[in-house]
C-alpha cells in the first residue's frame, strides 16, 4: 500500500446483511483529493460510504486511513473524518449552534471558551450566520444540509464524507455547496469523498470518480470524470456521464 | 501564540506566528489582544509566518476581526492571505452579510405568559375542531361511507384489547386488593368487616376501575397513537394523505376513536371482575369471609346505576384518550423531539382529562341523585 494514500480500500466487498452489493473494490484516495462515488440506483454507493465510515462491516477486504484501520484511528479518541448524511441528521432537540459545539464538547476539542466562536466560524462558512439559535426543525432543507456540513466540520477532520450533498437542493445552493467543498479542500487541505448523482457537481469538483455497477455488482470504471466521459471502456459509464452533454 | 497587531500610517497589520494562534484568543476581547482604535484604519494586512499551517482557529479569528471592523463601518480587504485561504474566508465573510438574523430574543415575562396562553387557546381550539370533525364523521361511518381501512381498525383493536388485557387485569386486581386491605383494617375495628365487599364493589365499579383502566390505556394505547401519528407527520405520510384528498381525521382519527370508545366499556367490565377478585382474595385471607358471603354482600351493594355510570365513564375516557393521542400526534413538530413531546403531552393531558371528567361525572351524578 502506498504510504501517502489518505484512504485505501483493498479488495473490499460491501453490503447489507449477508448479501454483498459490491465486490472487488480497490481504491486509493490521495490527501487533498475530491473523490466521487457514482453509479446507478441501488448499486451500493451509500453502502460503500457507510462501510468506509464504519457504520457497516465490510464483508471482505480492508479499509485504511493513513495506513491505520478505523479501530486503530479511533483508539486516539475520535474518527478521522466528518460525515454529511443525506438527510442532514441534525439533532432536533438542540439549536443549530449546539449541533456544532456538541462534538467539540464531547471530544474535548480545543479550549472550551473558543468552541462557540469556532462553531460560529463554521456556520459562517456555510452561510448560516444569524441562524445559530434556531431549531433544526425550523430550517429549510438546504439550510439543514448546510448546518449538517458545519457539524461535519466541527472537529476539523482531515477527511469529509458527503452522502449526496446536492440532493434536494436548488441549483444555486448546490453550486454554493460545491464552491464550499472546493474552498475547504484548497484552504484546509481536507480530503473529500462524496456520493453523488449530480453530474454538474461531479464534473465541477471531483478529481476522480469510481463508477459502481448495480447489475454486475462490481466497479466499472475509475478515473477522471472528463476522461471517462470520453474514453471509458464501458458504454454504460460513457452513457451515464454523457447525460450532461445531452441535457445542455 | 497570540496575534500581534501593529498600526503604521493607517495600515493595521496582524502578525501570526508559525505555530498558529492559541484557540483561547477566540474568547478574549479583541481590544485585550491589542487591536487599536478602529477609527484610523485605512488598510488591513496579514503577516503570517511562511511556515504557518492554516486552520479553523486562524479562520475563526480573522473572521472575527473582519466582523468587528464591518460592524464599525470599516469594510476593508485583507491583504497577505494565501489565495486558497482567502477564498474560504471570503465565504465566511459573505455569510455574515447574506443571512437574515433570527437570534432568539428573550421576551418579557408578561409577554411569555401571554404567548403561552395564546398557544394553549390555539391547542384547545384545534382539539375542539378535531372533536367536531370526528363527530361529523359518525353519520358517514354508520352509513359505511367513511374511508376507514378494516386492517387499521383491527390493528387498533388488537393494540387496545388483547395486548392490554394483562396490564388491565394486574392493575385492577391489585387495586381491589389494596382497597380491601385498607377497608378490612379499619372496618374490623367496628365489627363491620363484611362491608369490605360494599367498599370494594362500589369504589371499583363506580370510580376506580374506569379511572385506572383509562390511565393504563392513556399510557399504553394513547401514547402509541400519538407516537405513531407524530412519526407519520414527520415522514410526510400525513401530507401524502391530505394531497390524495383523504382527511386525516377520517382515516387516522376516526377508527381509533370509535375502537377505543367501544372497547373501553368492555375492558371496564373485565377490570371490575379482577378488582372484585382482588378484594375477595384479601377478604378471605384477612377477614375469613367466605366467597358466598362476599359475593352476596357485593351484589346487594352495587346498584345497576353504578355499573351504568362506570361503563359510560369508560366509554368517554376511551374517546378522550384516543382523541388526545391523535390530536397531539397530528400537531407534533416534524422531528424526533416532536414525537417525544407529542407522546408525553398526550399521556399527561389524558390523565388530567380523565380526572377532570370524572369530577364532572361526580357532580352531575350527585345533582341527579344517582
CATH code of B30's domain: 3.30.750
Asked whether residue B320 falls in the same domain as residue B222, the answer is: yes
pLDDT at B248 over 50: yes
What is the tally of structural domains in chain A? Answer: 2
**Is residue B210 included in any domain, yes or no?**
yes
Q: Which residues contact B123 (CB under 8 A, 6 or more apart)?
A: B331
Q: Which among A133, A123, A190 is positioned nearest to B67, based on CA atoms?
A: A123
pLDDT value of position B105: 55
User: Average pLDDT over chain B, rounded to whole?
Assistant: 87
Asked whether residue B136 falls in the same domain as residue B206, the answer is: yes
pLDDT value of position A99: 92
Asked whether residue A56 falls in the same domain as residue A174, the answer is: yes
CA distances from B66 to B7, B30, B71 (A): 16, 11, 8
| Residues B82/B44, Cβ–Cβ less than 8 Å | no
pLDDT tens string A171-211: 888 888 898 899 989 988 899 999 998 899 999 999 999 99
- Is ipTM over 0.85? no
Asked whether residue A180 falls in the same domain as residue A225, the answer is: yes
Q: Which among B99, B362, B236 is positioned nearest to A96, based on CA atoms?
A: B99
Asked whether residue A63 falls in the same domain as residue A100, the answer is: no
Q: What domain range includes position B40?
A: 4-98
Q: Best of A90, A124, A173 to disrupt the B interface by mutation (most B CBs within 10 Å)?
A: A124
Q: What domain range includes position A166?
A: 5-80+157-247
Residue A52 CA to residue A36 CA, distance in Å, equals: 13
pLDDT tens string B12-67: 888 888 888 888 888 888 888 888 776 677 888 888 888 888 888 888 888 888 88
pLDDT at B99 over 50: no
Asked whether residue A76 falls in the same domain as residue A162, the answer is: yes
User: In tens digits, what is the pLDDT along chain A, a chain of 248 residues?
Assistant: 444 678 999 999 999 877 889 999 999 999 999 999 999 888 999 999 999 998 888 999 999 999 888 888 887 777 889 999 888 888 877 899 999 998 898 888 888 889 999 999 999 998 899 999 998 888 888 888 899 999 999 999 999 999 999 887 888 888 888 988 999 899 888 999 999 988 999 999 999 999 999 999 999 999 999 999 998 899 999 999 987 655 44
| Cβ–Cβ below 8 Å for A111 and B24 | yes
Sort out which chain B residues have CB atoms less than 8 A from A99's CB and list them: none
Q: Name residues 5-24 of chain B within 8 A of A (Cβ).
A: 23-24
Sort out which chain B residues have CB atoms less than 8 A from A125's CB and list them: 59, 88, 91-92, 95
Q: Which among B13, B12, B11, B17 is positioned nearest to B2, based on CA atoms?
A: B17
Q: Is any Cβ of chain B less than 8 angstroms from the Cβ of A179?
A: yes
Percent of chain B with pLDDT over 90: 41
**Which residue among B98, B127, B149 closes a domain?**
B98
Asked whether residue A166 falls in the same domain as residue A227, the answer is: yes
**Is residue B104 included in any domain, yes or no?**
no
Asked whether residue A39 falls in the same domain as residue A106, the answer is: no
| Residues B115/B122, Cβ–Cβ less than 8 Å | no
**Is residue B107 included in any domain, yes or no?**
no
pLDDT tens string B74-87: 777 788 888 888 88
Residue B61 CA to residue B42 CA, distance in Å, equals: 20
pLDDT at B121 over 70: yes
| Better pLDDT: B302 or A8 | A8
| Cβ–Cβ below 8 Å for B102 and A184 | no
**Confidence grade of residue B348 (pLDDT, cut at 50, 70, 90):** very high
**Is residue A152 included in any domain, yes or no?**
no
Question: DSSP class of residue A12?
Answer: E
**Is residue A85 included in any domain, yes or no?**
no
| Cβ–Cβ below 8 Å for A121 and B59 | yes
Residue B328 CA to residue B326 CA, distance in Å, equals: 6
Amino acid at each position: 500500500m502506498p504510504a501517502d494514500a489518505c484512504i485505501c480500500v483493498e479488495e473490499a466487498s460491501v453490503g447489507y446483511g449477508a448479501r454483498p452489493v459490491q465486490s472487488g473494490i480497490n481504491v486509493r484516495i490521495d490527501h487533498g483529493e475530491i473523490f466521487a462515488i457514482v453509479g446507478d440506483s441501488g448499486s451500493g454507493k451509500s453502502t460503500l460510504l457507510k462501510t468506509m465510515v464504519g457504520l457497516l462491516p465490510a464483508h471482505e477486504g480492508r479499509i485504511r486511513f493513513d495506513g491505520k484501520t478505523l479501530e486503530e484511528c479511533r483508539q486516539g479518541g475520535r474518527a478521522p473524518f466528518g460525515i454529511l448524511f443525506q438527510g442532514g441528521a441534525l439533532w432536533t432537540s438542540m439549536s443549530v449552534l449546539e449541533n456544532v459545539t456538541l462534538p467539540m464538547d464531547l471530544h474535548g476539542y480545543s479550549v472550551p471558551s473558543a468552541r462557540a466562536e469556532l462553531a460560529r466560524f463554521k456556520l459562517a462558512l456555510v452561510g448560516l450566520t444569524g441562524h445559530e439559535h434556531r431549531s433544526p426543525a425550523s430550517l429549510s432543507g438546504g439550510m439543514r444540509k448546510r448546518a449538517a456540513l458545519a457539524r461535519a466540520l466541527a472537529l476539523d477532520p482531515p477527511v469529509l464524507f458527503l452522502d449526496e450533498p446536492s440532493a434536494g437542493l436548488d441549483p444555486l445552493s448546490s453550486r454554493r455547496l460545491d464552491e464550499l467543498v472546493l474552498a475547504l479542500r484548497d484552504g484546509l487541505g481536507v480530503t473529500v469523498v462524496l456520493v453523488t448523482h449530480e453530474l454538474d457537481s461531479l464534473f465541477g469538483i471531483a478529481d476522480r470518480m469510481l463508477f459502481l455497477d448495480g447489475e454486475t455488482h462490481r466497479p466499472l470504471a475509475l478515473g477522471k470524470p472528463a476522461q471517462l466521459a470520453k474514453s471509458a471502456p464501458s458504454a454504460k459509464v460513457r452513457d451515464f456521464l454523457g447525460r450532461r452533454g445531452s441535457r445542455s | 501564540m497570540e496575534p500581534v497587531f501593529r498600526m503604521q500610517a493607517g495600515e493595521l497589520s496582524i502578525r501570526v506566528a508559525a505555530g498558529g494562534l492559541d484557540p483561547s484568543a477566540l474568547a478574549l476581547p479583541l481590544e485585550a489582544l491589542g487591536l487599536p482604535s478602529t477609527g484610523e484604519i485605512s488598510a488591513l494586512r496579514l503577516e503570517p509566518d511562511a511556515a504557518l499551517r492554516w486552520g479553523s482557529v486562524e479562520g475563526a479569528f480573522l473572521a472575527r476581526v473582519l466582523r468587528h471592523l464591518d460592524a464599525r463601518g470599516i469594510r476593508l480587504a485583507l491583504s497577505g492571505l494565501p489565495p486558497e485561504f482567502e477564498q474560504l474566508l471570503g465565504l465566511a465573510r459573505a455569510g455574515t452579510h447574506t443571512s437574515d438574523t433570527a437570534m432568539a430574543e428573550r421576551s418579557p415575562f408578561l409577554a411569555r405568559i401571554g404567548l403561552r396562553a395564546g398557544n394553549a387557546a390555539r391547542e384547545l381550539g384545534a382539539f375542539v375542531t378535531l372533536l367536531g370533525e370526528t363527530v361529523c364523521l359518525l353519520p358517514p361511518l354508520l352509513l359505511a361511507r367513511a374511508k376507514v381501512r378494516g386492517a387499521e381498525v383491527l390493528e387498533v383493536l388488537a393494540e387496545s384489547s388483547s395486548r392490554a388485557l394483562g396490564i388491565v387485569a394486574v392493575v385492577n386486581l391489585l387495586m381491589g386488593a389494596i382497597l380491601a386491605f385498607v377497608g378490612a383494617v379499619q372496618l374490623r375495628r367496628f365489627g363491620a368487616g363484611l362491608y369490605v365487599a360494599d367498599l370494594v364493589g362500589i369504589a371499583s365499579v363506580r370510580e376506580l376501575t374506569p379511572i385506572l383502566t383509562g390511565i393504563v390505556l392513556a399510557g399504553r394505547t394513547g401514547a402509541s397513537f400519538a407516537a405513531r401519528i407524530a412519526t407519520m407527520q414527520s415522514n410526510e405520510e400525513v401530507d401524502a394523505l391530505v394531497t390524495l384528498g383523504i382527511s386525516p381525521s377520517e382515516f387516522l382519527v376516526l377508527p381509533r376513536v370509535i375502537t377505543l370508545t367501544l372497547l373501553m366499556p368492555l375492558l371496564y367490565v373485565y377490570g371490575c371482575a379482577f378488582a372484585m377478585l382482588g378484594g375477595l382474595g384479601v377478604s378471605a385471607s384477612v377477614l375469613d369471609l367466605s366467597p358466598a358471603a362476599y359475593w352476596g354482600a357485593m351484589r346487594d351493594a352495587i346498584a345497576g346505576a353504578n355499573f351504568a355510570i362506570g361503563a359510560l365513564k369508560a366509554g368517554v375516557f376511551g374517546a378522550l384518550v384516543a382523541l388526545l393521542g391523535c390530536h397531539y400526534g397530528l400537531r407534533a413538530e416534524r422531528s424526533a423531539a416532536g414525537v417525544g413531546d407529542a407522546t408525553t403531552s398526550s399521556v399527561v393531558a389524558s390523565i388530567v382529562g380523565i380526572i377532570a371528567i370524572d369530577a364532572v361525572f361526580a357532580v352531575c351524578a350527585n345533582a341527579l341523585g344517582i
